[in-house]
Amino acid sequence: MEKKTVVVALGGNAILRRGQKGTFEEQLENVYHTAEQLAEMVLSGEWRIVITHGNGPQVGNILLQQDAAKHVVPPMPMDVCGAESQGLIGYMIQQSLHNILDRRGRGDIPIATVVTQVLVDKDDPAFQNPTKPVGPFYSEEEAKRLQEEKGWHVVEDAGRGWRRVVPSPDPKAIVEREVIRILVENRAIVIASGGGGIPVIKENGELKGVEAVIDKDLAGERLAEDVNADVFLILTDVDRVRLNYGKPDERPIDRMTVEEAKKYLAEGHFAKGSMEPKVKAAIRFVEAGGERAVIASLDQAEAALAGKAGTQVVRG
């Protein structure tokens, strides 16, 4: 039987649970439990899997560490911090998956993390309107000083202090797509495009990192297109997409067509920065020729992949 390919986009709860401090031990334990579900997909013999993941808390912590140590060692730019987080999280997933598969007699399956650059358009309107908060909180005085010194955009964040905001441009291409394809075709489990990828632009014919944050689900969809995935599985902390979320008439959706999803988007049912990009990514994937996209909770990953849980997004 010919295996199908699924790109699994892991939400933050796969790595760090709400209320946890974020120690390495906590994160590794969470990743191990997640990897047990991923291993079952592999061991079923039905699926080739490609894994992508969020990195918000991890890259945030890296930025905090750099800020705390800025008088001791030079801080690195944000794109470098994104690369660091890809290595950190990829290492945990690789090791956990290997140990689980090895225990099940399949330690021969190669697993690789690809430090992934994602091309964005330097003329993307997002660069003129930074909206994504990153890094530590500052006093107004310090924020204004950093704005002057570094050219940052800073905003007051809900009474909690001042923060830097960066652009969130649309992903255009996965730079390492060819090597990822080769690895997948040669039966490797690939971890790629972590945290939405490292945003890069083309300038004078060369790649150059930029300080921005690409939405991880939209970047995951681009990855799914590039590896010709059959299914794009977005795992998060809710079991299904819901209309009128948080209201008395809240309604879960088991299945929706692309046209229905577009209608619900236009009606404003999905929160920006959380469910909205997931639904947009699902629409893009199916419109690009994918069999289906699925939005489901992490603990129902296998059932969702089998079409028995989550919200299944289909062509019509």
Active site residues: 12-13, 132, 216, 278
Parallel/antiparallel/unpaired status of strands 241-243 and 251-253: antiparallel
Specify which residues 5 forms β-bridges with.
48
Parallel/antiparallel/unpaired status of strands 173-174 and 117-119: antiparallel
Specify which residues 49 forms β-bridges with.
6
Dihedrals phi, psi of 256, to nearest 5 degrees: -145, 145
Q: Report the phi/psi class of residue 119: left, alpha or beta, with left for phi > 0 and alpha for psi in -120 to 50.
A: beta
Dihedrals phi, psi of 275, to nearest 5 degrees: -80, -30
Integer Cα distance of 145 and 304 in angstroms: 49
